[in-house]
Amino acid sequence: MSAIAVARGAVGVTRSRRIRTVGVEEELLLVDAASLLPTPAADAVMRRQAEAEKEGGSIMAWEAKLEQIEVVGPPLRTLAQLRSSIVSGRRAADAAARAVGARAVPLATAPAVCDTHTVADERYDAMRKRFGRTMREQLTCGFHVHVGVDSREEGVAVLDRIRPWLPVLLALSANSPFYQGEDSGFASYRYQAYSRWPTSGPYDVFGSADAYAEHLARMLDTGVLLDPGMVYFDARLSHHLPTVEIRIADVCLRAEDAAALAVMVRALVNVAADAAAAARPVDATPTTLLQLASWRASRFGLDDHLVHPHSGSLQTAADVVRAFRSHIHDGFADDEERAAVDSALAAILARGTGARTQREAVAGTGDLRDAVAVALTTHEERTSSSPAPGTSTSSRS
């Protein structure tokens, strides 16, 4: 706990606030149950959708590749609900995969060398034709967090103010060290692979909802993007829900880390919305510097120094996480949620990210399948919670 302790005033002075809804989308890798190699099983898994939905409020959805599936959770309000929903959603997806000889695992890239197969879909086919190798080789699994906002104006004000802190979320979630049969040297190689999309990564300060809309319109006018769903900023306004969608994180190895990250994102949004309501100025850190901060988070996760969002200097990962925790202090729903996040951050700093866990699993044998095996073990150890009810937040990217 001492690594993330935050000096504040009296405990228990959380002012009353509306509890914003949080919905999460987790992309899971599909592997053959025997070989643990990626398998194009999404068609067969999706045919088990009706059975999977019996597990609770989450639904399964198509992603771009047959070697992955998306689990879309309902909008929820408490950390306990989020944890339960994530666990039950993963359990349902894995049960559907098991029924067809596969497994669904929370890994952000496939460790083994593999070919990928694009889902038969008119839009995905158009993306394949336009983007060639980028689409052909794309197989990454992210963790997307939707947080409710009152209006698009508030949403853009939030986007403008959370920019400097997004690399910290990437560092905390890093879970993709292996790629195409080798150690990539990165904690999150998913972020590097995904950065090949022309609209991915950090974004500029927009200033208003009108300016955001105009910026997207100009992007579409270039003829590069197929549609607004291809705006792959690290965070964006949802084009079909009243939410901001934070997209920078890897899918987390552990369900409890994912749930804690989701409420941290909500706290970050709350703090940004409060700052906007008080007309406090935006930190206009240049996008080029944010790109470097995100690169460093992708490269090292929590295993080296990170860029401090305020000073722009290198500081230890623990110090930057501590600064992040201090920044979001007043954004939590209550003291219980705040204490739970403190415990989660202490655990992550002590044991490391999913990337470290994967590397430790492979170190003894050199067999990349052990990275998949440890993901399955971690997943199975945390599948006893009951599901949470609600309505889906499904979206297409």
pLDDT in tens, 171-200: 999 999 999 999 999 999 999 999 999 999
Q: pLDDT by residue (tens digit) across 266-317?
A: 999 999 999 999 999 999 999 999 999 999 999 999 999 999 999 999 999 9
Q: Are 167 and 295 in contact (CB under 8 A)?
A: no
Residue type for position 210: D
Instruction: Give the count of domains, the chain.
Output: 1
pLDDT < 50: residue spans in the chain: 1-3, 5-14, 382-396
CATH of the domain at 173: 3.30.590.20
* 234, part of any domain: yes
* 5, part of any domain: no
CA–CA–CA angle 218, 221, 224 (5° rounding): 110
- Distance between CA atoms of residues 159 and 154, nearest Å: 9
Could you identify the residue written with the tokens 């992309």? 27
- Distance between CA atoms of residues 236 and 199, nearest Å: 11
Structure-token pair, residue 19: 């509890």
Partnered with residue 59 across adjacent β-strands are 72
CA 320 to centroid of chain Cα atoms: 19
Q: Are 83 and 259 in contact (CB under 8 A)?
A: yes
The strand ranges marked E within 43-130 are: 59-61, 68-72, 102-105
pLDDT at 57: 79
Three-state SS for 162?
Answer: helix
* 101, part of any domain: yes
Which of 298, 295, 316, 292 has its CA nearest to residue 306?
316
Q: Are 59 and 115 in contact (CB under 8 A)?
A: no
* 115, part of any domain: yes
Whole-number Cα distances in Å, 91 to 80, 144, 319: 16, 18, 35
* 4, part of any domain: no
pLDDT at 55: 57
pLDDT at 378: 75
Which of 89, 91, 96, 110 has its CA nearest to residue 39?
110
* 389, part of any domain: no
Partnered with residue 145 across adjacent β-strands are 24, 246
pLDDT at 381: 54
Structure-token pair, residue 320: 């930057």
Q: Are 94 and 359 in contact (CB under 8 A)?
A: no
* 177, part of any domain: yes
* 394, part of any domain: no
pLDDT at 260: 98
Backbone angles phi, psi at 124, to 5 degrees: -65, -35
| Enclosing domain of residue 151 | 19-380
